[in-house]
Every structure is written in C-alpha cells, then in structure tokens.
C-alpha cells in the first residue's frame, strides 16, 4: 500500500501507469469521479501488498437516517453500530430516536452484517444541546436511574440492541463521583441482561478534577467499569474556534499516552473524525465554521483552484480560498495521510480499535486504508 500525493501535471492515468494499475480501478477504489481533474496536494491510495497489523474493533456512530447505500458499504468495516441517540429527561424518562422505522432498519442491517448495534444514551436536553444540569439531575437521583435502566433494558431487548453507549457530555466536575457511580450501576444492569457497556468521554492528557470540561471523567475508574471506552480525540479545531486541525495527531498521541497509563489499552476505541471545518476568517460568534465532509473539502479546493497543503506536525491537510474578493476561508479536513497516521495508533498503543464520528458520510479512502491495514473483529 502506498499514498500518492498529487503533483502538478498528474492525472489518474499517469498515476495508474506509475504504479502499474489502471485509472478506472484507482478512481473506483478512492471514490473519485474519473472525469474530474485532480487537485495538487490531493491524495490517492494505491492498494498493494502490505503487512497486516492485526485485528481491531471498529465503532461507527450514525444517525438513523443514514442512507441505505452508505450503511451497506460501511457495515463490513464495523464491529459496532452506535445509533444516535436516546435522550434522557428529568425523572428518568426517555425521548427515543425520532424515526423508529429508520432505527429498526439500521438495527436489522447491522445484525445481518454481524455488527453489534448499540443504543446511545445522551444528556441532550430540550435546548438541543448537551446539558450539564440534566446529567446532574439524573445521576444524583437513584429512583430516576432505576426507572431509566428499566426502560432502556426493555427497549434494548425488544429492538435487538447488543449494548448501551453512554454519551454524557459536560458533566459537572462536582459530579465526578456521582457519574462514576452511575456508570457502575449501568454496568451491573447491562451485565445482568447480557449487554455490553461502552461510554464516550472527552479527551485529556492530564487529570484535573476541577476542569470544567473534563474534570468529571475519572479515566482510571471508567476504564475498570466499562467494556469499551471511546476517547473523543477530536474537536481541537471546532466551529466557534480559530481554524486548525480537528484532530492533530500530536495532540491525539498526548491523550493516548495518558489514557493508556490509566486504563486497559484493549478497551480503548480512539475517536476519528469523519469531517473537517470550513471557517470564514476572521471567525466571529456570528460567523462560525461549518462542518464539511472530507471528499467535499477536496471538491471545494478543486472549485476554487486551490492547492492543498499539509501540516506535518498535525498530520492534517488544509487550504484557503476566496469565494469573493473580500472574504477568505480556511479549510482543515482529513485525507489518506491523516487517516493513515491515526490508524497506526491502534498498533502503536495496543488499542481495541477506532470509533468514527460519524459514518453518515461515506469516506472511501479511510475504509480502503483500514482494509489494507487491519482485519475487523465481528460478532
């Protein structure tokens, strides 16, 4: 396997000739329209003989409205399909996924592909955002937790879910012990019903219990409780922030070194973003960045005739463009080089594998690389 970075004058035909393959095969494997011109700095994956690095487990978060063809193409590369999301309410009530028919379709497709479906539980409230006060109200109310778990296990049995994924974000630092206790209660209930428990937690490279974003998450304790832990190793670059890599590999590695010192590495699923951001500059509260798919980012560079650059430290591609004479945009996204750097981390740190946010957009080059590097564990 090799990754070719497009240079001035390259075409799919010339690249194919250089590597002893044909342009149509390269186009199909990389998800490229063969009629389009290539962009300087664009990457082309050249499949070939390579050493396999072992077996990994792969989770894909998905909204239930995922296109059927995208789901069908992605399921062979997954161990878990985590459907987003059931929302908790005060007192332990649940708001289910809005379109149950789409949820049921995704679960059935997952099971047929030997993929374990997981119900994702969130503290997204009526505001449409993750709410710290909502998490506080639940995890400090034993009766609410009991009611919640009764409802969850009934739903999971009836719909065919194999596990529960707890994605409580912005939990208050003062609720650190309560959150850990909540996970212990969830784990005991899941085990008694034959389900697994996973949880998604924010990335950090040090433990500061007072930190407003990460203080509530006790890595050592969570690593003992959960069957799997998704480290959300993304959002260094975020919509309201200044343009930068969403998941710079140097920052990701800092988190992995810290996490593997506190929890079993074989429980860790490293988060990989299947998106980038397009920021107008300067970024203001009124003009935040917008999420953009990785293949869409290359299309945008082509539209505005912009070469793609690469940050060697972050191992992430970027480019700028001007939709008009007065507005500059900066785009950071993921490509084959950045995906390859991330995929190597499972081997380097003996991780369980990877967790993608989200799989609703199909990312051909990533899945091609995964196929070349690992075997995916199946139910």
Rounded Cα–Cα distance for residues 97 and 212 (Å): 29
Separation CA 65–CA 55 (nearest Å): 29
For residue 258, report the phi and psi dihedrals to the nearest 5 degrees.
-70, -50
Beta bridge partners of 166: 121, 199
How far apart, in whole angstroms, are the C-alpha atoms of residue 328 and residue 323? 7
**Active site includes 320?**
no
- The CA-atom distances, in angstroms, between 276 and each of 21, 124, 181, 272, 335 are 31, 23, 35, 11, 10
CB 277 within 8 A of CB 332: yes
Give the single-character DSSP code of 355.
E
> SS3 helix, strand, coil % of the chain, rounded to 5?
40, 25, 35
Which one is catalytic: 57, 87, 169, 330? 169
Inter-residue contact 72 to 92 (CB < 8 Å): no
Q: Are 226 and 351 in contact (CB under 8 A)?
A: no
**Which residues, at least 6 apart from 150, have a Cβ–Cβ distance to it below 8 Å?**
none
Region of 235 (left: φ > 0; alpha: ψ -120 to 50; beta: rest) is left
For residue 231, how many other CB atoms are within 10 A of its CB? Answer: 24
The contacts of residue 31 (CB under 8 Å, 6+ apart) are 295, 362, 363, 364, 365
The two structure tokens encoding residue 60: 């894909």
**How far is 219 from 10, CA to CA, in rounded Å?**
47
Known catalytic residues are: 169
């Amino acid at each position: 396997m090799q990754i070719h970075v497009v240079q001035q004058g390259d075409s799919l035909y010339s690249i194919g000739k250089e590597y002893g393959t044909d342009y149509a095969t390269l186009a199909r494997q990389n998800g490229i329209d063969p009629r389009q011109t290539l962009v300087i700095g664009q990457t082309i994956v050249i499949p070939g003989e390579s050493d396999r690095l072992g077996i990994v487990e792969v989770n894909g978060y998905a909204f239930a409205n995922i296109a059927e063809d995208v789901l069908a193409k992605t399921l062979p590369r997954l161990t878990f399909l985590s459907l987003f999301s059931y929302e908790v309410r005060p007192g332990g009530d649940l708001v289910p996924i809005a379109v149950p028919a789409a949820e049921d379709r995704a679960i059935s497709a997952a099971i047929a592909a030997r993929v374990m479906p997981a119900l994702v539980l969130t503290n997204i409230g009526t505001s449409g955002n993750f709410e710290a006060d909502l998490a506080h109200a639940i995890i400090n109310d034993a009766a609410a937790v009991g009611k919640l778990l009764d409802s969850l296990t009934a739903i999971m049995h009836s719909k065919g879910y194999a596990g529960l994924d707890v994605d409580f974000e912005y939990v208050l630092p003062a609720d650190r012990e309560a959150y850990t206790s909540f996970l212990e209660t969830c784990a005991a209930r899941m085990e008694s019903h034959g389900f697994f428990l996973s949880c998604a937690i924010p990335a950090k490279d040090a433990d500061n219990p007072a930190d407003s974003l990460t203080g509530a998450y006790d890595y050592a304790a969570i690593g003992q409780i959960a069957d799997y832990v998704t480290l959300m190793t993304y959002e260094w670059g975020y919509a309201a922030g200044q343009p930068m890599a969403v998941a710079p590999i140097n920052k990701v590695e800092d988190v992995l070194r810290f996490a593997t010192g506190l929890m079993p590495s074989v429980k860790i699923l490293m988060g990989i973003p299947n998106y980038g951001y397009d920021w107008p500059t300067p970024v203001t509260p009124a003009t935040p960045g917008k999420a953009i798919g990785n293949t869409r980012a290359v299309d945008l560079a082509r539209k505005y005739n912009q070469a793609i650059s690469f940050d060697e430290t972050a191992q992430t591609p970027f480019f700028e463009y001007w939709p008009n004479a007065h507005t500059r945009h900066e785009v950071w996204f993921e490509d084959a080089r950045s995906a390859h750097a991330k995929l190597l981390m499972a081997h380097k740190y003996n991780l369980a594998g990877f967790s993608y946010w989200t799989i609703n957009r199909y990312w051909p080059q990533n899945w091609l690389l995964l196929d070349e590097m690992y075997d995916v564990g199946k139910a």
